[in-house]
């Protein structure tokens, strides 16, 4: 495209957006985000965008509702400022775990997708969303990117001849196989149930972990309950310790820090898809997805293929 490229670092992704701009050798677009005493948010763009190819980097991480509203208002301000094409780069998409309807519950993923749809983006970029089927909730094209190669590279120095990749539940098996292919390791997985949003029960380990060093891989770490249940099951199955954990999104909410501090974890490797607030997360090592996003933006602007950057189907 001949139009100039403009990148906004949204309020939820200021540091990540700035790193993306540094790689692209451009400055983040200037805007003002005001919050009024009644809690309302107002976005004011500080430069002309007429005809520009605009990318907004904004995770919808906690507080999810606030960051969703900031994303939609930023998009509306860009549209009203004459943006030629508008793309949302959402490193972490909140509400993705509410993709199934149970009883009379709301379908949160669809509601969040519909809200984003009101901003009239031309395209979306997501990174390791909870499930690839989330794309079906959106009415615009999606580039579903993956941080797995970046995270596998970060984990590689700890890999030993007796390391085994462990998926903490059935939903993470495809992701575990992607790591296993990159690191040339066997795979095991855990049969897990979740009685409610905070409690996790691991029933059995499927695969050989006896006298092996587990490398647990998942898309996100929320309260730490899944990791805790997985480690309890691995101990019972005779796995060795300490254990490495790799996740894309380190939300670390609720009791997560307390839980992680008590577990035999040597390394907790995560991407910087969400901004991590103090206090420090135990064992945490960050791998940046800024190069991934910058590459995707550069190629998208040039109408080049992103096939090798996409998540496993």
CB 78 within 8 A of CB 49: yes
CB 41 within 8 A of CB 90: no
Q: How many CB atoms lie within 10 A of CB 72?
A: 22
Q: Which of 309, 301, 273, 269 is nearest to 286 (CA)?
A: 269
Q: Which residues contact 247 (CB under 8 A, 6 or more apart)?
A: 217, 218, 219, 220, 221, 268, 269, 270, 271
DSSP string, 90-113: ESS-TTTT--S--TT---HHHHHH
DSSP string, 184-236: T--EEEEEEE-SSSS--EEEEEES--TT-EEEEEEEEESSSHHHHHHHHHHHH
Q: How many CB atoms lie within 10 A of CB 202?
A: 21
CB 55 within 8 A of CB 297: yes
Strand, coil or helix: 289: coil
Distance between CA atoms of 226 and 109, rounded to whole angstroms? 21
- Reply yes or no on whether 192 is catalytic: yes
Distance between CA atoms of 289 and 173, rounded to whole angstroms? 22
Q: Say which of 52, 175, 192, 212 is annotated catalytic.
A: 192
Q: Is 84 exposed, middle or buried (0-12, 13-18, 19+ CB in 10 A)?
A: middle
Q: How many CB atoms lie within 10 A of CB 160?
A: 11
- The token duo for 201 is 């029960």
21: left (phi over 0), alpha (psi -120 to 50) or beta: alpha
Point out the residues that are catalytic: 192
């Amino acid at each position: 495209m001949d139009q100039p490229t403009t990148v906004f670092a949204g309020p939820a992704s200021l540091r990540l957006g700035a790193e993306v701009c540094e790689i692209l050798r451009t400055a983040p677009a200037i805007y003002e985000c005001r919050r009024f005493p009644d809690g309302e948010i107002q976005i004011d763009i500080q430069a002309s965008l007429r005809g520009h190819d605009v990318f907004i980097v904004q995770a919808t991480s906690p507080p999810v509702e606030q960051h969703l509203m900031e994303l939609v208002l930023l998009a509306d301000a860009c549209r009203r400022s004459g943006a030629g094409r508008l793309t949302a780069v959402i490193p972490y998409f909140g509400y993705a775990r509410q993709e199934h309807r149970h009883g009379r519950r709301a379908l949160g993923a669809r509601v969040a997708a519909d809200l984003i749809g009101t901003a009239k983006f031309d395209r979306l970029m997501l990174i390791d969303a909870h499930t690839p089927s989330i794309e079906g909730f959106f009415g615009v094209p999606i580039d579903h990117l993956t941080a797995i190669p970046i995270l596998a590279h970060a984990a590689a120095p700890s890999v030993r001849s007796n390391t085994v990749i462990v998926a903490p539940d059935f939903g993470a098996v495809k992701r575990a196989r992607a790591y296993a292919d990159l690191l040339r390791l066997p795979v095991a997985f855990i049969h897990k149930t979740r009685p409610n949003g905070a409690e996790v029960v691991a029933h059995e380990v499927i695969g050989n972990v006896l006298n092996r060093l587990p490398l647990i891989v998942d898309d996100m770490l929320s309260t730490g309950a899944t990791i805790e249940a997985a480690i309890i099951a691995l101990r019972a199955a005779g796995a060795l310790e300490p254990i490495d954990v790799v996740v894309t999104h380190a939300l670390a909410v609720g009791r997560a820090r307390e839980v992680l501090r008590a577990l035999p974890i040597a390394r907790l490797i995560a991407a910087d898809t969400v901004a991590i607030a103090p206090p420090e997360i135990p064992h945490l090592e960050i791998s940046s997805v800024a190069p991934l996003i910058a590459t995707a933006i550069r190629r998208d602007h040039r109408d080049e293929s992103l096939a090798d950057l996409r998540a496993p189907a």
